[in-house]
């Protein structure tokens, strides 16, 4: 199955670029001796070695699973928690690490790819006035080019907490009152802009929004999104995984340039219980995590009790 994309880059000096993605059918294997990957309500990230990391909340191999470039299960990351709802892999001056907030535990972790804890930021670091009922429900984060990181409380307040690279709390920005948001589910650092911005998936308002690293609300980047759950940036493109069964790609101006995996079958989207017997290669049920590798191939993790990963290869 091939999906032809016309990627229109909104820069005057650049020509129209044509590209093609190919769906790799049933890319990920089930871990040895298991019946399924596991209950996924998490995220996906790709390391510089093209190993794919996914967070799995339930099952015998819950935690963070690692797959090779061909989709073969390799291992679990030692000591990784089972409640990474959103996490990223980023390389800074200190090396390549996993950064993730725990949805239930409320703390924020920086781990080596081998599972060694480098930072463990406790919930008490964030002032109480930015919490609801004394708690946070941290749903995603990303790391800025200078190593600072930003963590969103997307299941509670939509506040974004800013820490320096050493894990010291700096400030809190955003929030539902300022942003007019409702479930700022996950975020990424949008490096297409100078200075970089935060690109956020405002799930229940069906839109993507831009927030400055200084806290300024820059406005709506894209509308009419099918309940966006996750966002990622590669080159001049941004992608969002939409819970209602689609992934959309945008140029820098926020114009849709392609859509992948759009599932319009009644009852098959926005659910984590679609049985494998109804799965169709290249069609989504509930995208929950998105990530690119270094050459632009796209990986999508589903929200599913069974565990499912999609791969779309960019024609080189």
List Cα–Cα distances, 298 to 1, 83, 237, 291, in angstroms: 15, 23, 12, 6
Task: Specify if 57 maps to a domain.
Answer: yes
Task: Specify if 182 maps to a domain.
Answer: yes
Task: Specify if 64 maps to a domain.
Answer: yes
C-alpha to C-alpha distance for 195 and 233, rounded to whole angstroms: 15
Instruction: Judge contact between 72 and 29, C-beta under 8 A.
Output: yes
Does position 22 have pLDDT exceeding 90, yes or no? Answer: no
Q: Give pLDDT, residue 14.
A: 30
C-alpha to C-alpha distance for 118 and 115, rounded to whole angstroms: 9
Pairing of strands 184-190, 197-202: antiparallel
Domain hosting 153: range is: 23-314
CATH number at residue 260: 2.120.10.30
Per-residue pLDDT tens for 110-141? Answer: 999 999 999 999 999 999 999 999 999 999 99
**Pair of tokens at residue 143:** 């790391």
Task: Specify if 5 maps to a domain.
Answer: no
Task: Specify if 131 maps to a domain.
Answer: yes
Task: Specify if 37 maps to a domain.
Answer: yes
Q: Give pLDDT, residue 265.
A: 96
Instruction: Judge contact between 132 and 116, C-beta under 8 A.
Output: no
Q: Give pLDDT, residue 18.
A: 33
Number of domains, the chain = 1
Task: Specify if 299 maps to a domain.
Answer: yes
Task: Specify if 15 maps to a domain.
Answer: no
pTM greater than 0.75 (yes/no): yes
Per-residue pLDDT tens for 160-175? Answer: 999 999 999 999 999 9
């Amino acid at each position: 199955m091939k999906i032809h994309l016309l990627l229109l880059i909104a820069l005057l000096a650049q020509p129209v670029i044509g590209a093609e993605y190919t769906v790799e059918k049933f890319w990920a294997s089930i871990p040895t001796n298991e019946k399924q990957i596991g209950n996924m309500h998490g995220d996906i990230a790709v390391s510089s070695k093209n190993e794919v990391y996914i967070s799995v909340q339930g099952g015998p191999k819950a935690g963070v699973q690692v797959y090779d470039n061909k989709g073969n299960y390799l291992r679990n990351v030692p000591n990784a928690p089972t409640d990474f709802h959103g996490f990223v892999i980023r390389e800074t001056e200190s090396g390549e690490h996993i950064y993730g907030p725990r949805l239930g535990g409320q703390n924020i972790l920086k781990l080596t790819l081998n599972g060694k804890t480098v930072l463990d930021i406790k919930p008490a670091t964030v002032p109480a006035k930015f919490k609801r009922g004394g708690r946070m429900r941290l749903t995603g984060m990303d790391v800025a080019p200078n190593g600072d990181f930003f963590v969103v409380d997307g299941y509670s307040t939509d506040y974004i907490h800013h820490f320096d690279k050493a894990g010291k709390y700096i400030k809190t920005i955003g929030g539902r009152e300022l942003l007019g948001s409702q479930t700022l589910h996950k975020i990424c650092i949008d490096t297409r802009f100078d200075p970089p911005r935060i690109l956020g998936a405002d799930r229940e308002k069906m839109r993507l929004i831009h927030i400055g690293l200084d806290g300024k609300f820059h406005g709506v980047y894209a509308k009419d999104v099918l309940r966006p759950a996750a966002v990622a940036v590669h080159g001049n493109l941004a992608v969002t995984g939409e819970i209602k069964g689609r992934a959309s790609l945008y140029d820098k101006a926020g114009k849709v340039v392609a859509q992948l995996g759009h599932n319009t079958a009644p009852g098959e989207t926005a659910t984590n219980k679609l049985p494998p017997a109804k799965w169709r290669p290249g069609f989504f049920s509930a995208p929950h995590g998105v990530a690119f590798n270094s050459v632009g191939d796209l990986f999508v993790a589903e929200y599913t009790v069974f565990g499912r990963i999609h791969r779309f290869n960019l024609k080189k």
